[in-house]
């Protein structure tokens, strides 16, 4: 009997070890904290504001703190819901959980291409960059979220540089300058790889200086594909080594993501906690 118990106990430990080893060794937080430094896409009503309504000891002798906050939807690390550019698209609270929870992901690292190009802020992701990624790391699985590492996050939270904000002397309209995705690459990822979401470490999936054309937003909106903008810390994932000793380099079958946006009824987008593991 003792032997049997010992065997059961041993099997239980073995099973626990087996289960544990399939879990994440480490989670990477791909979101920026919300505070006074949070960068918003220009033209919205509110930046991030925090009001410390109550903070201190009460007459009852216990500590009590409660704050209010206020912000526009599209600031910091946030999700664009399809309704942002498609009047019939899903609102933020309507995006299916299966598109956000424990989804497969790939990181396409184009940092070298961006910063070796003559004007990094005019760089757009092309189909050739995706094919190069796949030749090194494997095919992007169906229903993945594709994340693009341009390296632009190095400028966060310097608003002027990150947005590449210059004011044209000829118009009152500000001009933004930062890299993004091309319409062709967006179409290819939707049609050939059936992605459910697309993220980037810049203020927008379309380039900053876009002359008012936002092909990536419009196309992904049509296809019910959500965007994630101002993605943080992708370099940490790319440089990490997982428990099995494999470089966590954006390899398509390794990487998984939790995309957790705030649940506001009818929102066109909103701040999100993004966690990755490999």
Ligand X SMILES: *[C@@H]1O[C@H](CO)[C@@H](O)[C@H](O)[C@H]1NC(C)=O
Footprint on this chain of ligand X (rule: CB under 6 A): 36, 165-170, 174
d(C-alpha 84, C-alpha 91), whole Å: 8
Cβ distance to ligand X smaller for residue 155 or 165 = 165
Return the DSSP state at 140. Answer: P
Buried b / exposed e along 95-116 (16+ C-beta atoms within 10 A)? beeebbeebbbbbbbbbebbee
Q: Is the peptide bond before 235 cis (omega within 30 degrees of 0)?
A: no
Cβ distance to ligand X smaller for residue 89 or 203 = 203
Q: 10 Å Cβ neighbour count for 260? A: 15
d(C-alpha 43, C-alpha 102), whole Å: 33
d(C-alpha 212, C-alpha 35), whole Å: 29
Which of helix, strand or coil describes residue 149? strand
DSSP string, 53-68: EEEEE-TTSSEEEEEE
Shortest distance, position 240 Cβ to ligand X, whole Å: 30
Cβ distance to ligand X smaller for residue 174 or 266 = 174
Shortest distance, position 27 Cβ to ligand X, whole Å: 26
Shortest distance, position 35 Cβ to ligand X, whole Å: 6
What CA–CA distances, in Å, run from 274 to 68, 168, 218? 23, 35, 23
Cβ distance to ligand X smaller for residue 98 or 167 = 167
Shortest distance, position 111 Cβ to ligand X, whole Å: 25
d(C-alpha 17, C-alpha 10), whole Å: 11
- For residue 271, the cross-strand partners are 78
Cβ distance to ligand X smaller for residue 75 or 199 = 75
Cβ distance to ligand X smaller for residue 52 or 263 = 52
Cβ distance to ligand X smaller for residue 142 or 213 = 213
Shortest distance, position 171 Cβ to ligand X, whole Å: 7
Shortest distance, position 176 Cβ to ligand X, whole Å: 10
Residue 261's φ and ψ, nearest 5 degrees, are -80, 155
Cβ distance to ligand X smaller for residue 169 or 265 = 169
Shortest distance, position 166 Cβ to ligand X, whole Å: 5
Q: Which residues contact 24 (CB under 8 A, 6 or more apart)?
A: 277, 278
Shortest distance, position 196 Cβ to ligand X, whole Å: 35
């Amino acid at each position: 009997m003792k032997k049997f118990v010992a065997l059961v106990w041993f099997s239980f430990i073995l099973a626990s070890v087996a289960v544990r080893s399939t879990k994440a060794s480490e989670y990477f937080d791909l979101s920026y904290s919300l505070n006074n430094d949070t960068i918003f896409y220009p033209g919205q009503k509110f930046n991030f504001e925090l009001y410390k309504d109550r903070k201190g000891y009460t007459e009852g002798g216990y500590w009590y703190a409660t704050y209010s906050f206020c912000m526009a939807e599209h600031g910091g690390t946030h999700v664009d819901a399809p309704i942002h550019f498609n009047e019939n698209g899903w609102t933020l609270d309507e995006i299916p959980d299966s598109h956000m929870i424990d989804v497969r992901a790939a990181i396409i690292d184009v940092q070298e291409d961006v910063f070796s190009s003559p004007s990094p802020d005019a760089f757009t992701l092309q189909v050739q960059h995706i094919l190069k990624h796949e030749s090194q790391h494997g095919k992007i699985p169906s229903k993945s979220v594709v994340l693009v590492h341009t390296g632009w996050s190095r400028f966060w939270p310097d608003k002027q540089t990150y947005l590449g904000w210059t004011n044209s002397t000829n118009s009152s309209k500000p001009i933004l300058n930062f890299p993004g995705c091309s319409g062709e690459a967006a179409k290819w990822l939707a049609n050939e790889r059936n992605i459910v979401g697309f993220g980037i470490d810049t203020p927008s999936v379309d380039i900053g200086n876009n002359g008012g054309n936002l092909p990536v937003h419009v196309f992904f909106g049509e296809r019910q594909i959500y965007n994630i903008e101002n993605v943080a810390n992708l370099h940490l994932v790319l440089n990490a080594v997982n428990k099995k000793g494999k470089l966590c380099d954006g390899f398509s079958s390794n990487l998984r993501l939790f995309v957790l946006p705030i649940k506001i009824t009818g929102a066109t987008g909103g701040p999100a906690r993004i966690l990755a593991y490999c």
